[in-house]
Chain A
Amino acid sequence: MTKEFKHIGKATQKFDGKERVSGKAVYGHDLELPGMLYAAILRTRYPCAEILSINTSKAKALEGVECVLTAEDADVHNISYKRDHPILKKGRVNCIRDEIVAVAARSKEIAEEAIRLIEVEYRVKKGVYDPFEALLDTAPIINEFGKGLESFDNKNIAEAFHYEHGDLEAEKARSKVIVKKRYELPRVTHACMATSNITADYSPLTGRLTLWASTQVPFLYLRDMAHALKMAPSNIRVVQPVIGGGFGSKLDMLPFEPICALLAIKTAKPVQLLYSREEEFLASPTRQPMVIDLTTGADEQGKFTFRAVEIIMDNGAYTSWGATTPFVMMQTFSSLYQVPACRFDARAVYTNNPFAGSFRGYGNPQATFALESNIDLMAEALGMDKAEIRLLNANYPGEITGQGLHYNTCGAIPALKAVVEKGRYHAIAHAPKEGRYKRGIGLASMLHVGGGAKIYRSDGCGTTLKLDDYGYLTIITGSNEIGQGSETVLAMIAMEELGIEQDKIKIINTDTDVKPWDVGVHASRTSFVAGNSLLGAISLLKEKLNKKAAELLHIEGPDFVYENGMIRVDAHEIKIDKVVRDIHFMPPHQLCEVSFFYEPSSEFQDKQFKGDVSGSYAFASQAIEVEVDTLTGAVRVLEVHVSQDVGRVLNPLGLQGQIEGGVATGIGYALTEEMIYEDGLLKNPSFHGYKLLTANDMPKVHFYPIETNDGAGPYGAKGASEAPLIPTSAAIANAVANAIGVRFYSLPLTAEKVLFALVQKSVGTPRRCATLSEHAQIEKQKGHGF
Chain B
Amino acid sequence: MNNWVEITMKLNGKTVSCRVKPSSLLIDLLRDEFKLKGAKPGCLEGECGACAVIIDGNAINSCMYLAINAEGKEVTTIEGLGSDDNLLDAVQEKMLSHGAVQCGFCSTGVAMSIKAYSEKMKALGIKPTREEIKKTLEGHLCRCTGYIKIIDAAEAVFEEGSEM
Residues of A within 8 A of B (CB): 11, 13-14, 17-27, 29-30, 32, 190-195, 242-247, 274, 276-277, 482-485, 653-654, 656-657, 660-665, 686-688, 692-696, 698, 701
Contacts and interface: CB of A to CB of B under 8 A. Distances in A.
B47 A688 contact: yes
Interface in B84-122: 87-88, 92, 95-97, 99, 101-108, 111
B141 A653 contact: no
B78 interface: yes
28 contacts: A17-B96, A20-B103, A21-B88, A22-B38, A22-B81, A22-B88, A22-B92, A23-B37, A29-B37, A29-B41, A193-B105, A193-B141, A194-B42, A195-B42, A245-B103, A245-B105, A246-B103, A277-B44, A277-B47, A656-B149, A661-B143, A661-B144, A688-B47, A694-B139, A695-B140, A695-B147, A695-B151, A698-B151
B146 interface: yes
Contacts of B44: 276-277
Interface of B: 31, 35-45, 47-48, 50, 77-79, 81-82, 87-88, 92, 95-97, 99, 101-108, 111, 133-135, 137-151
A20 B146 contact: no
B43 to A, nearest CB: 4
A664 B150 CA distance: 13
A250 B146 CA distance: 20
Contacts of B36: 23
Top 5 closest pairs, chain A to chain B, by CB: A23-B38, A20-B104, A483-B103, A244-B105, A664-B146
A701 B148 contact: yes
A692 B45 contact: no
A317 B74 CA distance: 51
B43 A22 contact: no
Nearest to B87: A22
Tell me which of A482, A654, A664 has the highest count of chain B C-beta atoms within 10 A of its own C-beta.
Answer: A664
Contacts of A696: 134-135, 137-138
A23 B108 contact: yes
Nearest to B137: A695
Tell me which of A17, A665, A686 has the highest count of chain B C-beta atoms within 10 A of its own C-beta.
Answer: A17
A14 B101 contact: yes
B148 A482 contact: no
Contacts of A13: 96-97, 99
B110 to A, nearest CB: 9
Given A26-B37, A660-B146, A692-B141, A21 B104 contact: yes
A765 to B, nearest CB: 38
B146 A194 contact: no
Contacts of A698: 134, 146-148, 151
Given A26-B37, A277-B44, A692 B101 contact: no
A169 to B, nearest CB: 45
Contacts of B82: 22
Contacts of B138: 694-696
A653 B37 contact: no
Tell me which of B43, B97, B104, B135 has the highest count of chain A C-beta atoms within 10 A of its own C-beta.
Answer: B104
Contact of A687 (B40, B48, B92, B96): B48
B106 to A, nearest CB: 5
A661 B141 contact: no
Contacts of B103: 20, 192-194, 242-246, 482-483
A18 B111 CA distance: 12
Contacts of B146: 657, 660-665, 693, 698, 701
A194 B92 CA distance: 20
Contact of A193 (B88, B99, B142): B142
Contacts of A484: 102
A663 B35 CA distance: 36
B30 to A, nearest CB: 11
B133 to A, nearest CB: 8
Contacts of A243: 103
A154 B99 CA distance: 50
A731 to B, nearest CB: 16
B134 to A, nearest CB: 5
A245 B79 CA distance: 22
Interface of B is mostly: loop
B132 to A, nearest CB: 11
A337 to B, nearest CB: 28
Given A29-B41, A692-B141, A660 B149 contact: yes
Contacts of A693: 146-147
B78 A22 contact: yes
A484 B95 CA distance: 16
A634 to B, nearest CB: 16
Tell me which of B50, B143, B149 has the highest count of chain A C-beta atoms within 10 A of its own C-beta.
Answer: B143
Contacts of B102: 14, 483-485, 657, 661
B143 A193 contact: yes
B104 A25 contact: yes
B42 A23 contact: no
A657 B149 contact: yes
B130 to A, nearest CB: 10
A482 B143 CA distance: 13
A26 B79 CA distance: 13
B40 A194 contact: yes
Tell me which of B97, B139, B145 has the highest count of chain A C-beta atoms within 10 A of its own C-beta.
Answer: B145
Contacts of A662: 146
Contacts of A482: 103
A14 B99 contact: yes
A277 B99 CA distance: 27
Given A686-B47, A694-B138, A21 B105 contact: no
A465 B142 CA distance: 34
Contacts of A32: 35
A703 to B, nearest CB: 11
Nearest to A481: B103
A702 to B, nearest CB: 11
Given A193-B48, A276-B44, A695-B150, A657 B99 contact: yes
Given A665-B143, A687-B141, A277 B42 contact: yes
Given A13-B97, A26-B37, 19 more contacts: A18-B88, A19-B104, A193-B105, A244-B104, A245-B105, A245-B143, A245-B144, A482-B103, A483-B103, A483-B104, A657-B145, A660-B146, A687-B47, A687-B141, A688-B45, A694-B139, A694-B141, A694-B147, A695-B151
Given A193-B50, A193-B105, A654 B99 contact: yes
Nearest to A107: B32
B104 A242 contact: yes
Contacts of A701: 146, 148
A112 to B, nearest CB: 13
Nearest to A488: B99
Nearest to B38: A23
A29 B82 CA distance: 24
A728 to B, nearest CB: 11
Nearest to B153: A21
B136 to A, nearest CB: 9
Contacts of A26: 37
B37 to A, nearest CB: 4
B155 to A, nearest CB: 12
B83 to A, nearest CB: 13
A48 B62 CA distance: 38
A193 B137 CA distance: 16
Contacts of B47: 277, 686-688
A491 to B, nearest CB: 14
Given A21-B101, A244-B105, A29 B38 contact: no
A213 to B, nearest CB: 16
A243 B105 CA distance: 8
A307 to B, nearest CB: 32
B116 to A, nearest CB: 16
Nearest to B109: A193
A20 B96 CA distance: 10
A444 B84 CA distance: 51
B99 A653 contact: yes
A277 B92 CA distance: 27
A245 B138 CA distance: 20
